[in-house]
Amino acid sequence: MAPLRLPGLITSLLLLNCSLLVHQAGSVDPLYMYDLTASSFVKDGQADDSWQASRFSPQLSYLSLVASAAAYASGAVGSCYQNSGLAGTYGPMSNVRQVSVPAYWKTIGGTWSGFVARLPRKRITMIVFRGTNQDGQLIVELLSVLKTPPVPSPVGGRVQAYFSMAQRAVWSKLEPAFAQIRSANPRDAILVTGHSLGGAMAALTAVQLAAKGLRPQLFTFGEPRVGDATFSAAFDKLMAGGSSWRVVNGRDPVVHLPLCRGPLERCQPDQKSGPYHHGTEVFYPSGMKPNSPSGFRICQGKPKNEDRKCADSPKVFLPCLTKMASCIDSHLNYYGIKVSKWWGSSQCKPKKESDEKIMGRLLMESVINS
């Protein structure tokens, strides 16, 4: 759903369901920080290696975000990756196959797009989906989500029709290229990723691969709710073992869409219909700006996948009702990168600092009181 340019009033109404509810007191998931220089983890200010059991990797998350930004560079995926500076760590990118197909309601404009590629040095095969690239397409996307009934998912439950349509259209073009890479490199790790709408398509692709017996790693950024609670349960079962991560930047409003239920009701895992998040949320409560070091939480509170002490807490996004522009900015920017505009603004070249230094500042913090 990016780039997002909704009037503040409309977005505020979409967020109203949670802003009117009282925040419940209780324990909060620990805040983890990663010290890139020391290559160690701390929890609530103390050294702690138990974090690693969660399997969330800040390094792979950052790599995935760079790939998600590269997806917006039409015809220049390899150049964007090379310019990002990560080639020094992960090696060159090869076997790039990027596709674009006309989006639903062609008269509005816009395309759905994605690419597959390989990082031979690290033996990683990547499947990457791009988010929305035109305002007209965004309008169609929102109308479709609001008006079109969800459709059955091949793994169980129901998913948003627009997301399913986009994923099927792009994946049908990418799957042959992926199969060719996989056949030649069956031991490669599979990394699936995307930002916003791209995150929704990535999630649908990852769970379908898991249903076929593969073990993809999924990282999404600013991903909206894809399916219902039945789909969420099926997704979590297939993607078990710490292989699915929904990264959320502070007050990103898109992660609250579509609404779970009615305008005054909260998400519940036993709800019979309505959107419900899947996978484990990784929440950056203080944002991800390069000049503002931030820690993250692995959100495992209740309700499952809709932890009310993370992004779904009213006190997190309540300020969006009066500061919507800054909240939308949280959706457009992850790890200090303006995802959809990175190629157009700087050809994916870091500003002043190396990617590793920026990443270190983003993922390192001494103590934050929860």
Q: What is the pLDDT of residues 80-126, one digit of tens each?
A: 999 999 998 899 999 999 999 988 755 456 889 999 999 999 999 99
CA 45, 46, 47, 50 dihedral sign is negative
Instruction: Compute the average pLDDT of residues 136-159.
Output: 74
% of the chain surpassing 70 pLDDT: 71
User: DSSP letter at 301?
Assistant: -
- Count of beta carbons in the 10 Å neighbourhood of residue 287: 18
Task: Indicate the pTM of the whole model.
Answer: 0.83
Two tokens, residue 302: 């209740």
Assign 2 a pLDDT band (cuts: 50, 70, 90).
very low
CATH of 58-366, one of 3.40.50.2020, 3.30.1510.10, 3.40.50.1820, 3.40.1350.10: 3.40.50.1820
- Residue from 216, 294, 202 nearest 250 by CA: 294
Two tokens, residue 74: 């039409």
- Residue from 5, 59, 81, 53 nearest 247 by CA: 59
Q: Which of 39-43, 53-57, 120-124, 272-276 has the highest mean pLDDT?
A: 120-124
Amino acid of residue 57: S
Q: Which of 47-51, 102-106, 353-357 has the highest mean pLDDT?
A: 102-106
Q: Go through the chain and tell me how many residues it has.
A: 370
Q: Given 3-state DSSP classes, what are the helix, strand and coil percentages for the chain, each rounded to the nearest 5?
A: 40, 20, 40
- The 3-state DSSP class for residue 131 equals coil
Contacts of 1 (CB under 8 A, 6+ apart): 131, 132, 138, 141, 142, 196, 197, 222, 224, 254, 257, 331
Peptide bond connecting 293 to the previous residue in cis, omega within 30 degrees of 0:
no
How far is residue 142's CA from residue 5's CA, in Å, rounded to a whole number?
12
Position 5 scores a pLDDT of 44
User: Which residue in this structure is represented by tokens 């969006």?
Assistant: 320
